[in-house]
Amino acid sequence: MSTSNLATILSSNPIDLGPYETLYKHLHSHPELSYQERETASTAASHLRSLNAGYEVHTSIGGHGLAGVLRNGNGKIILLRADMDALPVKEDTGLEYASQVTMRDTDDVTKPVMHACGHDFHVTALLAAAERLAKMKDSWSGTLIVLFQPNEERAGGAQAMVDGGLYTKVPVPDIVLVQHVLPLKAGQVGCRIGTIMSEADSFKITLFGRGGHGSMPHRTIDPVVMAAGVVLKLQTIVSREVDPDEFAVVTVGSLQAGQTENIIADKAEVRVNVRTQDPGVRDKILTSIRRIVLGESEASGAVKEPLIEETTHFPLSVNDEQVTSQVLNSFGDFFGKRFNANMKPSTASEDYSILGSSQNKPCCFWAFGGVEERIWDEVEKHGRLMQDIAVNHSPFFAPVLQPTLETGVDALCLGALTFLKCS
């Protein structure tokens, strides 16, 4: 079907987004950490059932994951996915519906919780798209799966759903489609063929010293000094070992040792995150990390060899050429100048591709913007986009409600209709 006909179908089947704005505010003010998305999942399941549109609702898949299946005759099976979990971040947006929630995390520490990555927008947009696509089901045929995934932030949710029997409960999709709100101008959409998001590896490195009194450092082996050496040398991997034409990021996000100032601890923990978009670069960096950690430990006289444990891994996200070319055509015609068909690959990472790759099925991912146009233009005029626009995972990250929500719903519906058999 021509993209002009798809636009006609969409414009002929609007829904009232007012209730979804209210739902978004509720989800934003009631975030839940990874592995604990019980109420968010319950809200999504209840909403799908309340539509009375024929969705088969399957819950508790791989934890709190759920999926709704709308069977509507012959045609392709299209899976739309949203993630549900929030982050251990104290919100500082000043919104009237800002989160005040705290939760006990998996490390048994109580932390503030915030939807600092926009997953509340993803859930809301997918529920609205589920209603809208059901409303227009006389115009298409095929099978629609709307999937709500837990534990994206810790890279375990997609695999857990697959391992938890997802594809014994819902049909294997022909295509997986995913979107994410990013710090772009609201109303804009971006996509590209090929690599779209980075591969990511995270590690916990434990360095072992010998503790003692702060006044007697000569009788100890100080793991803080050891860790400081590791941190500084890790920063040289990208600057001195990786080809400047290649993408790579090495971030030390946490260094923890000791409890007070007059006691030298007996160990230090360093948490490291690596982002790459080339397997060879990844191998080089991981080898360098091990070399630096082992070398600094030996040079410091550590009491035993350091422990390097992988904590999470996100696969490289690659947009399938054939599927994505069709999405580019649909989005280009519908969004016009608001669409970027060759957006830069994101330095961030995702695990959604496992929903497709586990079944040898293609995926397509796109981004939509959430920064109010007036604010974006003013900041851009002063050349301060990097400094003044809050990014995902920031305590100030707060996508503007509209046109962000409308754009997200349009994109999901248009993506699905691109492949469902339309009449």
Q: State the catalytic residue, choosing from 120, 152, 222, 350.
A: 152
Residue-level pLDDT at 107 = 86
3-state helix vs strand vs coil in the chain, percent to 5:
35, 30, 35
- C-alpha neighbours within 13 Å on the C-beta side of residue 86: 34
Q: pLDDT digit of tens for each residue in the chain (423 aa)? A: 556 688 888 888 899 999 999 999 999 999 999 999 999 999 999 999 999 999 999 999 999 999 999 999 999 999 999 999 999 999 999 999 999 999 999 889 999 999 999 999 999 999 999 999 999 999 999 999 999 999 999 999 999 999 999 999 999 999 999 999 999 999 999 999 999 999 999 999 999 999 999 999 999 999 999 999 999 999 999 999 999 999 999 999 999 999 999 999 999 999 999 999 999 999 999 999 999 999 999 999 999 999 999 999 999 999 999 999 999 999 999 999 999 999 999 999 999 999 999 999 999 999 999 999 999 999 999 999 999 999 999 999 999 999 999 999 999 999 999 999 776
Q: For residue 364, how many other CB atoms are within 10 A of its CB?
A: 28
Q: Whole-angstrom Cα distance, residue 290 to residue 287? A: 5
Please say whether the beta carbons of 144 and 67 come within 8 A. no
At 111, which helix (H) or strand (E)?
Answer: strand 110-112
- C-alpha neighbours within 13 Å on the C-beta side of residue 267: 12
Please say whether the beta carbons of 180 and 350 come within 8 A. yes
Residue-level pLDDT at 1 = 55
Q: Evaluate if pTM is beyond 0.75.
A: yes
Dihedral sign, CA of 361, 135, 24, 192?
positive
Residue partners of 356: CB distance under 8 A and separation at least 6: 173, 175, 176, 362, 363
Q: State the catalytic residue, choosing from 32, 37, 83, 85.
A: 85
Residue-level pLDDT at 152 = 96
Burial class (CB in 10 A: 0-12, 13-18, 19+), 386: exposed
Closest CA to 196 of 352, 311, 347: 347
Residue-level pLDDT at 4 = 65
Name the residue with tokens 């015609």.
333
Closest CA to 178 of 62, 323, 313, 278: 323
Is 85 tagged catalytic? yes
Tokens of 211: 């503790």
Residue partners of 106: CB distance under 8 A and separation at least 6: 33, 34, 35
CA angle 129–134–138, rounded 5-degree value: 130
Is 378 tagged catalytic? no
Please say whether the beta carbons of 160 and 56 come within 8 A. no
* 35: β partners: none
| Beta-strand pair 65-72/140-149 | antiparallel
Residues in the chain: 423
